[in-house]
Structure 1
């Protein structure tokens, strides 16, 4: 009995000694929450005991991150032109400055889109097959100054992905801005259009990193600018016209195929990456999120990655659509009151994919879900909209992370802005997503190791109660408390080497 007693005593002492000598994980914690935190530093760590653990596995490596960001639309740039100099600079710095979201991957539209003030093309002169009258003059009043100011604010720079919504009507079979298809006799001209766009922007000091071939090639019910392709038609155009033209003109730009919702992803990547010849000029695939307000379609994302594991898989557009923004009402963005286009218009068999939702929840769920299923870049839609959710020539109102009132020269940074910043600010280009284990199914988690050695962990608690968990990296641990309805980014500094 004495021996057993001594063994028990020794075991207790060993456990206590281990607990006392266990190293604490040194980290910074930032939180955005429904209770009012806006990327605020958290310094009071939990002391509660819990069985819930997130264990980081830095030796498990997945995709390399391309970046995060938003889009330079004419609507956003037009609104910035109406703000006073102080607020204009405030918005640009908030997105691109060293103390802001530090956007690293962006998008813009070639020719007009629904978030333009009116319809326009860089090739307005009909039957100008050599595009002798090609001009980006339309962009010089708004989009180009916006991009240049962002370039000045950004210390590390950012990539630009450009997308056409449509070719000019004279190149299409229906002679309209909306719907229709590119006529085969203009395939050469349309490929030349992309090449001239790269040159024109380069002459303004702006490098174009990549293209998507067509925004939403399945169309939008002919509501605003669009042009239709089948997977076979797009691949034929890329393989025989666009890819060879950009190559022969010496343009080192990426080409991403598809560029629409994930539920049709399989049929597109099957065609794009069918053979070595079909995939030669494709650098990857672009996707949108509008098929559901909650479903991320992980099987489709996994399938697309497996089909082309060494190519990009980039979320190129997302927004709270079919909504007029709520002005200075932070709680609305955390409330399950928003509806999307599918609330009214989805087929009956798809209605379940479009329930009411909280905007912040949708962003956090989707970005984390995308990252954990091989997506390497995530781009939001408009960076700035007004209180109506425009301007938009079709009145297709949407929400942006930053809402402005140009008449009063006022700016509102919505909770979506802070939600985006949790990823864009702390997970940098060329970071590598790493593995982890998580015992709490109610917490969503993703993690990445940055080029500077820091590890960024993003945790999302959608629930209405705060939670405690232990974060572990090797032998080091730290107890953390996350608020109800909150996003946290935890930044772990690299261990010094002797």
Structure 2
């Protein structure tokens, strides 16, 4: 048993014995009679801000931080999301070809940030990840401004029709440039937050697409161009936006035969999850034509809105909020969960648009140290144990207060992740239907537990 509590435990390990009968009235029963999705992995984003903060530390602290995320003694992230060019978590807005009307991409080149931060740290992460290979996921925030009707980096603008082929070429050039550096991508998003990117108030790097226009871009341009350039093995991600929008988005995509052919999965962001139940993910999974595609949570952060905006060091609510969301998503067919920035400063940046948020790790460069927030431990309870290739198994849960999810790993371990949502102690019994094991637990208030057999 691995336990994290608001009072003192942080992934504290203990050995528990199974018992012969239930001692609690609330019971969670797991069974392998029915199985669900296979896990792709868990991870975070290598933004410019992440890189800037990591390299601001002394080398020993840098290495320790990277070990925390990727080493065998850390939480063993297996997915890294990489912005194509700049995002709001950069020191300035930019793309990889800011020369006006450079439709031949004569001046296309990776940025200083790619060479100084992203590429070296990605290679270090891959060297640390000895047990499971890391999957890289690219995500563009905007096309070069000359390709958009707004002629600007920020949201509220759309890709002009005549630049659909050029934008596909731009993304392919990014993949090829990283390939020349020895880094191959597993997934390429067709656009970060295309719904939000249409909004005039979206005042940082962004670009809008309607689902039908993005389907045309993927089906007629990006997909075929990637195939022609030997990148047909890279999975194309659609959506990459908020849960309330994605059921309609996928429906429209699936009606476009070419887009459906090239799209491998849908990306979901967590910021508006309270406006739509997690069961929408199951409805997406059940859509005709979606059978061989995946659902992946691709971005999340706490401190992005309201009175709790920005960094809240040690916020336990931020941690339990993460784990609650992760459990709901896993129980509704998500194949993984990818956090946003892996490291930010004490303000929650740098961010050129002053869109400051929180992060699982906060760096204090002047003190030459970093702090692990409760969000880090929430992610640890899943990423360390629900490894790639794990399969979700069936579960019934009688409790109104304990959230749970259960998996069988490739090495035949059974993993159960639990969250006590109450602010007081709660008791639960867990039964393994096939093997007959019974575990009786008392969970501390708002505690997180992972059981491994």
TM-score, normalised to structure 2, is: 0.93
Residue in 2 aligned with 1:35? 7
Residue in 1 aligned with 2:77? 103
Measured after TM superposition, the shift of residue 171 of structure 1 is: 1.2
Counterpart mapping for 1:26-105 below 5 A? 29-43=1-15, 49-105=23-79
Determine if the alignment matches structure 1 residue 312 to structure 2 residue 273.
Answer: no
Residue in 2 aligned with 1:141? 116
Q: Please say which structure displays the higher CA radius of gyration.
A: 1
Contact kept in structure 2, 1:447 and 1:456, CA below 8 Å: yes
Which residue of the other structure, out of 267, 291, 312, is the alignment partner of 1:326?
312
CA 1:260–1:443: 2 relative to 1, 3 Å: same
Determine if the alignment matches structure 1 residue 192 to structure 2 residue 169.
Answer: yes
CA 1:46–1:324: 2 relative to 1, 3 Å: farther
SS in 2 for 1:146: helix
Residues 257-305 of structure 1 show CA distances to partners (whole Å, capped at 9, x for unaligned) of 111111111220111111533301110100111114x466223212211
- Distance in 2, matches of 1:487 and 1:248, equals 47
Residue in 2 aligned with 1:242? 222
Measured after TM superposition, the shift of residue 469 of structure 1 is: 2.3
Residue in 1 aligned with 2:237? 256
Contact kept in structure 1, 2:294 and 2:335, CA below 8 Å: yes
- Distance in 1, matches of 2:346 and 2:137, equals 27
- Distance in 1, matches of 2:251 and 2:397, equals 33
Give unmatched runs, 5+ long, in structure 2. Answer: none
- Distance in 2, matches of 1:172 and 1:295, equals 30
Counterpart mapping for 1:74-473 below 5 A? 74-138=48-112, 139-155=114-130, 156-179=132-155, 180-218=157-195, 219=197, 221-251=201-231, 252-292=233-273, 294=274, 297-307=277-287, 308-320=290-302, 321-322=304-305, 323-327=309-313, 330=314, 333-334=315-316, 358-473=317-432
Measured after TM superposition, the shift of residue 407 of structure 1 is: 1.3
Which residue of the other structure, out of 465, 470, 489, is the alignment partner of 2:450?
489
Contact kept in structure 2, 1:96 and 1:103, CA below 8 Å: yes
Contact kept in structure 2, 1:69 and 1:105, CA below 8 Å: yes
Measured after TM superposition, the shift of residue 53 of structure 1 is: 2.0
Measured after TM superposition, the shift of residue 133 of structure 1 is: 2.1
- Distance in 1, matches of 2:128 and 2:413, equals 23
Residues 168-202 of structure 1 show CA distances to partners (whole Å, capped at 9, x for unaligned) of 11111111001211112211111111111111111
Contact kept in structure 2, 1:74 and 1:143, CA below 8 Å: yes
Give unmatched runs, 5+ long, in structure 1. Answer: 1-28, 335-357, 493-498
- Distance in 2, matches of 1:121 and 1:373, equals 36
TM-score, normalised to structure 1, is: 0.85
- Distance in 2, matches of 1:43 and 1:243, equals 50
- Distance in 2, matches of 1:44 and 1:484, equals 19
Residue in 1 aligned with 2:439? 478
- Distance in 2, matches of 1:45 and 1:479, equals 9
Tell me whether 478-487 or 412-421 shows the greater mean CA deviation: 478-487
Contact kept in structure 2, 1:296 and 1:366, CA below 8 Å: no
SS in 2 for 1:283: strand
- Distance in 2, matches of 1:325 and 1:231, equals 34
